[in-house]
Structures are given as structure tokens and as C-alpha cells.
Amino acid sequence: MSANPVLALAPRLQRAGGRDGRTTTALAATAFTVSTALTLSVVGALTGFVERAAHPVTELEREAGSFYVVLAVTATILLVVPLLTLGGAAARLGVARRDARLAALRLLGATPREVVGLALVETALQGLAGAVAGTALYGALLPVWTQVPFQGRAFTAGELWVGVPVVLAAWVAVPLLAAVSGAVSLRRVVVSPLGVAQRTTRPGLRAVRVVVAVVAVGAFMVVSAVGQMAAAVLITVLLTGLALAFLTMNAVGPWVLGVLGRLQLRWARTPAQLLAARRLLDDPRAVWRVVGGLGLASFVAGCLAVVPVLAGGGGDPVGDVVARDLLTGALLTLGITFLLAAASAGIAQAAAVLDRRRELALARLAGVPGELFDQVRRREVLVPLLVVSVGSAVAALVMFFPLFGLAAVTAPSGILLLVGCLGGGVAMVLAATEASRPLLRRVLADTVVRAD
Amino acid sequence: MTPTARPSGPTTAPPDVPHPGATPLSADARLAARGLVHRFGATTALAGVDVDLGAGEHLAVMGPSGSGKSTLLHVLAGIVVPTAGVVTLSGQEVQGLSEKKRSLLRRRRYGFVFQFGQLLSELSALENVALPAMLTGTSRRDAEAEAARWLATLGLTDAQGRRPGELSGGQAQRVAVARALVTRPEVVFADEPTGSLDQTTGHDVMSLLVSSTRAVGASLVVVTHDADVAAWCDRRIDMRDGLVVPAGSTTGGGVGPRPGEREAHAAGGPRDLGSASASGALGGGAR
């Protein structure tokens, strides 16, 4: 253990955090667990496809092994951002909850470096706990993944096992990423403590983000149209396009949500509408971190709409297997992305309840009905969620239009899949936000607003 | 209108029925309580308290920490159901109402000013004041117009668009006063309203709270441990160990308002509410 007396206090302070401290620690560790387990699962699948390509057993594996690897890489890229988002949300949650205790330590004479170090040690420990638990969850999920057939046969647990070096790497990487993400959050606190603590109005996001988006979409459409002529570069174009789309959405998403918030504020008639609009305007970036995951998932669903076109379905048995595998893989990717988005949403809602515990409790004492906060919670998630998910799906269709033409839109199975996935994803995220309802009730009931 | 003072004494095992010695409920009291007993587990917070509050009357509840004064406020305001005893508002019993009805009662007929942190941080000052009116069914437009008048009355016109985090402590408490009064409640409950303010700012906030409350004809219950704050009120009761004790037995007499100030308030001439805009604001209710 460190010889530094402040850092030595870390475990004791962790215990002293009380019920809320334990709740946030559990939430953060759970988020790290989920993201670690799913990351290892995805890496395991990628390893499995790489192994099959390197040592093919069937004709299909010999012929299309490398194509499957490319698809697995694509799925991994699709999941990287939501996975990092969830991990980052967990780290921020852990750091944010420590504000009060860190302030108390500062008053006791701890230096800023010691305080930051203490917070990061705690966050890294949560990350480590999550990484270890996530590895166990990954092990528990292996039998589930072995039920899913690819290339005509299901993977064995051995094929999907990432190996000890990767597990150890995860145990180092997850705490490290947690600490880095936490450090970024703390830097904001240090740079502008009042802004974070007192919720002052933040500067608006600039419309230049839209210009960036329009340029990016236009560039992609031109490049992909040219790419059609040279099939060899198609895959490169596809992967580049996906990366470009993610960057574009992350640049534009918060700005769009800010505009949406201003419109909602102008049209608000009821207290729930007013509060939901204000919360969205309060920090569009934070809301984007919640719904952005589903935005990306919807983008994937938009891409899926063209899978039947890509598969063709010309009666070739090998072609049929590939088409089925494409749909299976895409569905799995989508399901995991939705799960990650739902987890991010649940964590963000729980953090919001704990952040506002005093004002919520006082509002209840003054007669504000608890149902109002339920309405606000649903509304503040649902409206941006619908706009972002539908918007992203449409954006995907528009961007891939030059590649696949009208067939993508007219293929009914693809569109049905898209609608089904959007509905399922929205329902899952709403269910996750409902998970914070008991916490809200407990906060309203338990919060002592002033000791007599 | 004098509270029934009971001698201080042991607080173990009080009866779970209205205190046998309770005086009859006053017919003309706006808010009345008899034989209030409240326990948290083995701790007795209220051990048999009687209180009467007349229409427009301002009452200070004083006492040291743990004396039960905040519990009394919570019971009187319908936040907490007493273990035993009766609370009436304009003759109607409230302690037996369901949680939902008591919540409605607090929203529509009571106003609250807490020590700090009661403003919703995502809303502007104007929206915070308008919210209680909107919750009682007033349209957003009318509620915000009424809120703007209140903020102007309390000298906060320039702060309408500011968020709570951008207000000083005194400004935030004045916004809280406006929020408590925007629905023109019958009773305003203030729990250590100046507890987080310096003396000068606290003095200003009390001045506005007392004068504004008086201007709308509301009764006021102020819980405080500060004799200066209590001195703003018409009457004061002191509490110790869950009982009302003779006034002045828990603290010394306060300095209170500056000379002549209290008389001005008592005469209904609030210092900051005499302008045309003030009377306009206070004349039109949001309900």
C-alpha cells in the first residue's frame, strides 16, 4: 500500500461513503463488468474467426474466411464506441459521487494532487473489480455464444476463449481506461469547480458541427460512388465510412440535441415538458452520451437494412450460409449495442437522481408529486432517443444509398428488421431508465434535508 | 392564540392518543394542532404539543437542535403524519388524509421556504417561481407572468433568466420566497430560511419574507434557532425535548428587526412592496 497518508485513506473513505456511496460503487463496477464481459466476447469472436481463417476446415472457411474476419472487425468497430461510452460513464459516475468527500479532504489540507490521486485510485479499483467480474461473466456467457452457428457450425468454447494474455491485458487496460476517463472528469472539476458544482449555464454548441456533418456525408457519398467501380476497395470504403459516420455523429449529435432542447423549451406547456427540456438543454453532451449509443446502434440497423440486398439470395448454398451469417452477426452486434446503450442510460439516470437528491427531496416536501419526476425521466430520455435513433437510421440509409441504390429501401425484410430493432432498442433503454425508479423513491423518502 | 405551554420533562412513553390535557381546538384558528406526539423508533420527537395559528399570524418556533421544532413543522405542514394528535387547517383535519391528498394540500394551500437548495437547478429563477403555479393548473404563460411580477417585487428582475447556481445565497432565498408565495398560499412554512446567509442578507430576506407573506394575508410559521429571526414574528414558542416550554427558556431574547421596522411590517406596510408594481403583483393570484 502507498506510504502516502491520504492515499492510505482510500479504502476507509470508500466505506464511509454510506448507502449512496455503495450504490454508485456497485453501479460503476457493474458497468465495468458488463463492458469487460462484452468486450472479451467480441474479441473472442474475432479470435475465433481469425483462427478459422488461418486453419480452415470446410470449403466455406477456406473461401470466405478472410471475408468473415473483415465482418468481425467491422462488428468490433461498431461496438468500440458504445463500449468506451459505458466505461467512461461508469468512471465519471464514480468520480462525480466523490465530490463532497474530496472537498472535505481539501479542507483537511490534502493537496490537489493527493485528492486527484485518491479519486483515481478508487476509480481504478472499481475498474479492476469490474474487469475481474467481467471475465467471470464472459466465462459464463461462453456457453451461450456457442449456441450461435457461424459458417455452418457453432463455435466451441475453446474457439471463443481469448486466452490468458488477453484477460490479463483487460485487467490492466480497464482500470487504466477508468483512471484516464476519471482524470478527464476531474480536470473539469479542477478547471471550473463552480460550473460543475452549481450547474451554471454552459456555453452553447456551435452550428459549425452541422457543416462538418454535411461535408462528411457528402464526401462519403462521393467516395462510395467511386468505390463501386473498384470492388477491391469496397471493404476499405465500408470501414472508413463507418468510422467517418461515428465521428460525424459524435460531432453533430450534441448540437442536434441542443436544438431539440430549445424547441422543446419553447413548446413546453406542462411542468414535465419544461423540466425535460431544461434538463436536455442543461448538458446536451451528457444526454448524447446516453442516447448516442442507441444512435450508433440505429446506424447499424440502417446498414442492416441493406444486408438482404448484399446477400442476393441466388440459390447458392454457400451464398445462403453467408447471408444467414451476415444477418446473425449483425443482429448480435445490434443486440449488444442496444444492451450497452441501455446500461449507459440506466447509469446516467441513477447518477442524475443522486446528483439532485436534495432538491428532489425538498420539492417532494413542498408538494411536488413524485410522478412528475417519473414523467420527466421518461420524457427526457424518450424524446432525444426517438429523434436520435430515427435520425441515425435515416442517415445510414442516405449514406449507403449510392452503394446499394433503391433496392436497399425496397427490400422489405431489411426495413422490417430496422423497425423491429429500433422498437426493441427503445423499449430496452426505457426499461433500463425505469430501473432508477426505486432509487428515486428511496432518495425522496430517505434524504434528510436538514438535521434538526 | 397562546400556545399551550407544557412543562419540560421526561419524554419516554407518551400516550398515542391526543394529550389528555389538550385544550379544545380553536374554531377561529387557521392552523391548529392538539396533542401532537411523534416518535422515530425509540426517539420521541414530539411529546404532546398544542399550537394555534391565526389567519395572517406569524409564529416563530425556536429551540436547540433535537428539540423537535423541525418535526413540528413537518407535522403541521402535512409532510409527516404524527403518531398521535390532530392537525386542522381551517377546521378540516389533515393528519388523516392520504399521502396524495396531503401532497395536494401542500402544493395548493401551503408555501415552503427551506434553508437552501430548494430551487431546481436546471430551471431559471423565473421558471422556478412559475413551477408551483403550473403544478396547480395555471398555464405556463400566466404562471411566468405572475412569477415575473413576484421577482420584480422582490428586486430580482435582472435575475429572472439566471440559474440557481448563478444566484447569490440571498438572491436564491428571495427567489424561494417568491416561489412560496406565487400560489397565494394560506400558510407559509419556513425552515431556517436565513440559516445559510450572513446577518445582513438574512435580515433582508426575513424582511421580504415577513412583508410579502403579510401582504398576501398568509400565516407564517418560521422554525429557527436564531432569536433575531424569531423577533420578526408576532409570537414565538420555544421547544425542548419535544415539548413547548415557556418562551425565552431555551434562548435569550433577540435583537430582531431594526427599530421601527417591525412596527412597519405589523402595520401592513412592507418596506419593499409599496410600489405600484408591487401591489399589482400581490393583487393578482396565480390560482
pLDDT digits (tens, 9 = 90+) for A266-293: 999 999 999 999 999 988 887 887 777 6
- Residue A385 burial by CB count (10 A; 0-12/13-18/19+): exposed, middle or buried? buried
Return the closest-CA partner of residue B192 out of B81, B79, B64.
B64
Which pLDDT score is estimated for B140? 96
A203's grid cell = 456555453
A430's grid cell = 426505457
Same domain flag for A166 and A242: no
Which pLDDT score is estimated for B19? 46
Is the Cβ pair A275, B67 closer than 8 Å?
no
Helix A271-282 crosses helix B125-135 at what angle (to 10 degrees)? 150
Report the DSSP pairing between strands B58-62 and B235-240: parallel
What is the C-alpha separation between B122 and A257, in angstroms, rounded?
16
In the three-class reduction of DSSP (H, G, I as helix; E, B as strand; rest coil), residue B235 is classed as: strand
**What type of residue sits at position B81?**
V
pLDDT at A10 exceeding the cut of 60: no
Q: B166 to chain A: nearest residue by CA?
A: A200
Q: A267 to chain B: nearest residue by CA?
A: B140
A421's grid cell = 430493432
pLDDT band at B155 (very low <50, low <70, confident <90, very high): very high
What is the C-alpha separation between A316 and A298, in angstroms, rounded?
30
**What type of residue sits at position B125?**
A
Of A21-25, A165-169, B145-149, least confident by mean pLDDT is: A21-25
Which pLDDT score is estimated for A132? 97
Which pLDDT score is estimated for A295? 74
Return the closest-CA partner of residue A134 out of A108, A111, A167.
A167
A358 closest CB neighbour out of B65, B117, B192: B117
Is the Cβ pair B134, A270 closer than 8 Å?
yes
pLDDT band at A336 (very low <50, low <70, confident <90, very high): confident
The CA–CA distances, whole Å, from B284 to A37, A371, B15, B111 equal 61, 29, 46, 17
Is the Cβ pair A274, B135 closer than 8 Å?
no
SS3 assignment for chain A: CCCCHHHHCHHHHHHHCHHHHHHHHHHHHHHHHHHHHHHHHHHHHHHHHHHHHHCCCCHHHHHHHHHHHHHHHHHHHHHHHHHHHHHHHHHHHHHHCCHHHHHHHHHCCCCHHHHHHHHHHHHHHHHHHHHHHHHHHHHHHHHHHCCCEECCEECCHHHHCCCHHHHHHHHHHHHHHHHHHHHHHHHHHHHCHHHHHHCCCCCCCCCHHHHHHHHHHHHHHHHHHHHCCCHHHHHHHHHHHHHHHHHHHHHHHHHHHHHHHHHHHHHCCCHHHHHHHHHHHHCHHHHHHHHHHHHHHHHHHHHHCCHHHHHCCCCCHHHHHHHHHHHHHHHHHHHHHHHHHHHHHHHHHHHHHHHCHHHHHHHHHCCCCHHHHHHHHHHHHHHHHHHHHHHHHHHHHHHHHHHHCCHHHHCHHHHHHHHHHHHHHHHHHHHHHHCCHHHHHHHHHHCCCCCC
Q: A202 to chain B: nearest residue by CA?
A: B163
Which pLDDT score is estimated for B4? 42
A199 closest CB neighbour out of B45, B70, B163: B163
What is the C-alpha separation between B206 and B188, in angstroms, rounded?
13
Same domain flag for A26 and A150: yes
A199 contact B CB<8A: yes
Q: A364 to chain B: nearest residue by CA?
A: B103
pLDDT band at A356 (very low <50, low <70, confident <90, very high): confident
pLDDT at A142 exceeding the cut of 70: yes
Return the closest-CA partner of residue A145 out of A326, A336, A316.
A336
Same domain flag for A198 and A255: no
Window A:228-287, CB contacts with B under 8 Å? 268-271, 274-275, 278-279, 281-282
What is the C-alpha separation between B123 and B121, in angstroms, rounded?
6
pLDDT band at A304 (very low <50, low <70, confident <90, very high): low
Find chain A residues with C-beta within 8 A of B195's C-beta: 450
Of A272-276, B7-11, B176-180, B207-211, least confident by mean pLDDT is: B7-11
Q: B130 to chain A: nearest residue by CA?
A: A271
pLDDT at B162 exceeding the cut of 50: yes
Q: B179 to chain A: nearest residue by CA?
A: A366
Per-residue pLDDT, averaged over B182-201, amounts to: 92
Q: Which domain holds residue A61?
A: 1-202
Which pLDDT score is estimated for B106? 94
B122 closest CB neighbour out of A268, A278, A449: A278
Q: pLDDT: is A412 or B267 the higher one?
A: A412
Q: Is the CB of residue B250 less than 8 Å from the CB of residue B67?
A: yes
Same domain flag for A229 and A328: yes
Q: Is the CB of residue A264 less than 8 Å from the CB of residue A383?
A: yes
Which pLDDT score is estimated for A313? 53
Window A:331-390, CB contacts with B under 8 Å? 356, 358-359, 362-369, 372
Mutate to test the interface with A, among B61, B102, B114, B122 (most CBs of A within 10 A): B122
Nearest Cα of chain B lies from the Cα of A342 at a distance, in angstroms, of: 24
pLDDT at A140 exceeding the cut of 70: yes
Same domain flag for A20 and A33: yes
Q: Which residues 6+ apart lie within 8 Å of A441 measured at CB?
A: A370
Which pLDDT score is estimated for A418? 74
Find chain B residues with C-beta within 8 A of A194's C-beta: 165
Q: pLDDT by residue (tens digit) across A235-268?
A: 666 667 766 777 777 788 889 899 999 999 999 9
In the three-class reduction of DSSP (H, G, I as helix; E, B as strand; rest coil), residue B271 is classed as: coil
In the three-class reduction of DSSP (H, G, I as helix; E, B as strand; rest coil), residue B246 is classed as: coil
Per-position b or e across B248-283, b if 16+ CB within 10 A of its CB: eebbeebebbeeebbebbeeeebebbeeeebeebbe
Q: Which helix (H) or strand (E) holds B32?
A: strand B31-40
Which pLDDT score is estimated for B261? 53
B→A contacts (Cβ < 8 Å), by residue, are 45, 65-71, 74, 77, 79, 100, 103-108, 110-112, 114-115, 117-123, 127, 131-132, 134-135, 139-140, 163-166, 191-192, 195
Could you tell me which residues are beta bridge partners of residue A444? Answer: none
Find chain A residues with C-beta within 8 A of B74's C-beta: 365
A201 closest CB neighbour out of B106, B111, B166: B166
Q: What is the mean pLDDT of chain A?
A: 77
Mutate to test the interface with B, among A365, A443, A444 (most CBs of B within 10 A): A365
Provide the 10 A C-beta neighbour count for residue A164. Answer: 8
Inter-chain contacts counted by CB atoms under 8 A, chains A and B: 103
Is the Cβ pair A201, B164 closer than 8 Å?
no
Of A81-95, A300-314, A371-385, B261-275, least confident by mean pLDDT is: B261-275
Could you tell me which residues are beta bridge partners of residue B244? Answer: B239
Q: Is the CB of residue B225 less than 8 Å from the CB of residue B63?
A: yes
Per-position b or e across A39-60, b if 16+ CB within 10 A of its CB: bbbbbbbbbbbbbbbeeeeeeb
| Chain centre distance of CA A95 | 18
Which pLDDT score is estimated for A172? 95
The CA angle B47-B48-B53, to the nearest 5 degrees, is 125
Say what the pTM is.
Answer: 0.76
Among residues A202, A233, A267, the one where a domain terminates is: A202
Q: B185 to chain A: nearest residue by CA?
A: A366
Helix B140-153 crosses helix B276-283 at what angle (to 10 degrees)? 140
Which pLDDT score is estimated for B29? 85
Q: A196 to chain B: nearest residue by CA?
A: B165
Find chain B residues with C-beta within 8 A of A199's C-beta: 121-122, 163-165
A271 closest CB neighbour out of B67, B106, B131: B131
Q: pLDDT by residue (tens digit) across A390-408?
A: 787 887 777 777 766 666 5
Is the Cβ pair A278, B127 closer than 8 Å?
yes
Helix B140-153 crosses helix B169-181 at what angle (to 10 degrees)? 130
Return the closest-CA partner of residue A86 out of A23, A28, A133, A132.
A28
pLDDT at B55 exceeding the cut of 60: yes
Q: Is the CB of residue B175 less than 8 Å from the CB of residue B151?
A: yes
B104 closest CB neighbour out of A197, A275, A367: A367
| Chain centre distance of CA A98 | 23
Q: B133 to chain A: nearest residue by CA?
A: A271
Which pLDDT score is estimated for A391? 80
Which pLDDT score is estimated for A4? 63
Provide the 10 A C-beta neighbour count for residue B13. Answer: 9
What is the C-alpha separation between B182 and B201, in angstroms, rounded?
22
Same domain flag for A114 and A144: yes
Same domain flag for A385 and A427: yes
A449 contact B CB<8A: yes
Is the Cβ pair B117, A362 closer than 8 Å?
yes
Per-residue pLDDT, averaged over A39-44, amounts to: 92
Find chain B residues with C-beta within 8 A of A372's C-beta: 135
Q: Is the CB of residue B73 less than 8 Å from the CB of residue B61?
A: yes
Nearest Cα of chain B lies from the Cα of A32 at a distance, in angstroms, of: 29
Same domain flag for A422 and A437: yes
What is the C-alpha separation between B85 and B93, in angstroms, rounded?
10
What is the C-alpha separation between A174 and A32, in angstroms, rounded?
8
Find chain B residues with C-beta within 8 A of A363's C-beta: 118, 120
Nearest Cα of chain B lies from the Cα of A432 at a distance, in angstroms, of: 23
pLDDT at B24 exceeding the cut of 80: no
Q: pLDDT: is B74 or A423 the higher one?
A: B74
What is the C-alpha separation between A124 and A112, in angstroms, rounded?
18
Handedness of CA A239, A244, A245, A247 (dihedral sign): positive
A386's grid cell = 426517438
Nearest Cα of chain A lies from the Cα of B263 at a distance, in angstroms, of: 31
Q: How many domains does chain A have?
A: 2
Same domain flag for A64 and A135: yes
Q: A269 to chain B: nearest residue by CA?
A: B140
pLDDT at B259 exceeding the cut of 50: no
Q: Which helix (H) or strand (E) holds B89?
A: strand B84-89
The CA angle B271-B272-B274, to the nearest 5 degrees, is 85
A81's grid cell = 464506441
Is the Cβ pair B163, A269 closer than 8 Å?
no
Is the Cβ pair B107, A450 closer than 8 Å?
no
Of A199-208, A429-438, B54-63, B216-225, least confident by mean pLDDT is: A199-208
Among residues A172, A202, A232, the one where a domain terminates is: A202
Same domain flag for A97 and A179: yes
Q: pLDDT by residue (tens digit) across A59-84?
A: 888 888 888 888 888 788 777 777 88
Which pLDDT score is estimated for B10? 34
Which pLDDT score is estimated for B287? 33
A359 closest CB neighbour out of B74, B119, B192: B119
A265's grid cell = 423549451
What is the C-alpha separation between A216 and A40, in angstroms, rounded?
32
pLDDT band at A305 (very low <50, low <70, confident <90, very high): low
Q: B144 to chain A: nearest residue by CA?
A: A269
Which pLDDT score is estimated for A393? 80
Find chain B residues with C-beta within 8 A of A192's C-beta: none
Among residues A142, A167, A202, the one where a domain terminates is: A202
B165 closest CB neighbour out of A198, A281, A452: A198
Same domain flag for A61 and A176: yes
Q: What is the mean pLDDT of chain B?
A: 81
Same domain flag for A193 and A226: no
